[in-house]
Homo-oligomer: A and B are copies of this chain.
Amino acid sequence: MRVVVPVSGSDPKTRLASVLTPDERRDFTDAMLADVLDALTGAGLEPAVVSTAPVDCDAPVTVDERGLDALVNDLLASTVDEAGGALAIVMADLPLATPESVDRLVSTDGDVVLAPGLGGGTNAFVCRHPDFRVDYHGASIRDHRRIARDAGVDLSEVDSRRLATDIDEPSDLAEVLLHGDGAAADWLADAGFEVALTDGRVAAVRK
C-alpha cells in the first residue's frame, strides 16, 4: 500500500497563531509530523511526505505546491486507477495516531475506508477502487461519503478517537497533553503548556 502524508511546509497551522509564534507553529507541526510517521512506520508501512515546501523528517519528501485536492486526486489516479494499487492518505496533524490505530485503518475491509475527523473533516482514508476522488473543502466527510456512494464503492469507516483528533485550534492542544506520549506532547510540555481545569472540558494553558 502506498502511504502519503500531505503537509503544509510554509506558515502552517494559522489557527494556532493566538498561542504560538510562526516559528513555534513550524516546530510543533514538525513534531506532529514525526509522531504520524512513527505511527505509520510502527504499523509496518513506508510513508512518503508531500509538502508545499521542504520539511525535515524521517521520510522521503516531495515538494508539490498544488492544493490538497489536486495533489490527492492525482495520487489516486496514478496509484489506484492506473497501477491498480491501494493508496492511504494520512494527515500530518494527528499526533495521537498509534501503530494500532493505523493498523485498524489499513486492515479494515472496504473499497474506501474513511477515518472521520472532529468537526466534519476526513483525517485519513484508504482507497482501493478507481472511482473515488476527494474534495476536502467544507464538511468533507459528508462529501466523501456521497462521492463513494455515487461511485457505488464499498464504503467503510474506522471508529478511532486517535485518528479523529486533528490539532487545529488552541482547544485541541489539551488532547495532545492528555493522550500523547510522542514528540508533539513533549514539544508542548517543553514550551510550557499544561492541562488546566475549566468549567467544562479541560484546556491547555501556557505557564
Contacts and interface: CB of A to CB of B under 8 A. Distances in A.
A169 interface: yes
A154 interface: no
A138 B200 CA distance: 8
Q: How many subunits of this chain does the assembly comprise?
A: 2
A149 B195 CA distance: 20
Interface residues of A, number: 31
Contact of A201 (B121, B179, B201): B121
A139 B203 CA distance: 10
A32 B129 CA distance: 36
A197 B15 CA distance: 16
Interface in A152-171: 159-164, 168-169
A116 interface: yes
